[in-house]
Copies of this chain bind each other. A is one copy, B any other.
Amino acid sequence: MKTAYHHGDLKNALLDAADEILLSKGLQGFTMRACARLANVSHAAPKHHFGDINGLLTEVAMRGFDRLVALLQNKMQPVMGDLHAQMYAVGLAYVEFAEAYPEHFRIMFRKDLLSYDTQSPPRQIAVTYATLTNVVLRHRGEPEISEIESMASLNGEVIKDIFMCWSNIHGYAHLRLEGQLNSIPEETHLKILQENTQRLSDLVQRRAA
């Protein structure tokens, strides 16, 4: 069980430590050794579980995608009847996630920090894709997909719609996170998001008709 050696659940303890450090000190203060210190293990302990620092960051990012999906579904769940409200919920969840976990958000979209095959992405990313895709599919009145099914099963029009919506929402969240929208007064932000998602929702519905 739990002895001096053999922590028992060191991997998750290290990931929790990583989250905590990212939230408090940011990516600057984030080091493998700092994670090890916070988990009360030696500096080389993480190596066995994650290989190198990119391995650690990859798993941190995947837990980030898990949180993002949870937030997305949480915000959409009460408004499943209203298509525009769904799209708005996606935008809202996205922006709020970026604000709550800024460093996680950055890491999740840093190809150079993540070590997974971009051609066959891990489960968490597939689930994120599927969640966003299903919003579009509901708009179009088409059957939803599970995260197991590949995007290849979708026709070109759907894919275009997905990435049109996603680009818009992602770009807004990203620019906002990085301080490029500071000239916008705070109360205007929600209005912009509302209008943008309204337009996206309309466009996707109209295209499907």
- A interface residues with partner B (beta carbon < 8 Å): 26-28, 106, 109-112, 118-119, 151-152, 156, 159-160, 163-164, 166-172, 174-175, 177-184, 188, 191-192, 195-196, 199, 203
Q: Point out the residues of chain B lying under 8 angstroms from A177, CB to CB.
A: 111
Q: Is the CB of B179 within 8 A of A175?
A: no
A163 to B193, CA, bound (A): 10
Please pick, from B118, B182, B192, the residue contacting A119 in the complex, using a CB distance under 8 A.
B182
A151 to B183, CA, bound (A): 7
CB distance from A192 to the nearest CB of B (A): 5
CB distance from A102 to the nearest CB of B (A): 9
Known A-B contacts A109-B178, A151-B183, A156-B188; the reply to A167 vs B163 at CB < 8 A is no
Known A-B contacts A26-B112, A112-B28, A183-B151; the reply to A170 vs B175 at CB < 8 A is yes
